[in-house]
Amino acid sequence: MNTTKILAVKSIAIAAIFSLSACAGMNNQDKSAVAGAGIGAVGGAVLTGGSAIGTVGGAAVGGYLGNEVGKKKE
């Protein structure tokens, strides 16, 4: 593996670690929205063959659905 690829992999790993620590102060609804957006982005990318529009659309729909599911029932 060349130096550029190694640097890219390490940078992505560090960014993932820092992004996970950002979830510490979130409530249940926020966590559900983030999880839904992630799952929706992957689903949108798979269904559209990696299209950027499909990925963003899937993330938007997934985030909305995750937010609705995470709401507390009163």
Nearest CA among 34, 39, 31, 33 for reference residue 55:
39
- Measured CA distances, 14 to 24, 34, 49, 74 (Å): 17, 19, 27, 39
Mean pLDDT for 2-16 is: 74
pLDDT in tens, 18-71: 766 766 778 888 888 888 888 888 888 888 887 888 888 988 999 999 999 988
Residue 73 has pLDDT above 60, yes or no: no
Residue 1 has pLDDT above 70, yes or no: no
Whole-angstrom distance, CA of residue 68 vs CA of residue 37: 12
Are the C-beta atoms of 36 and 69 separated by less than 8 Å?
yes
The length of the chain, given as a count of residues: 74
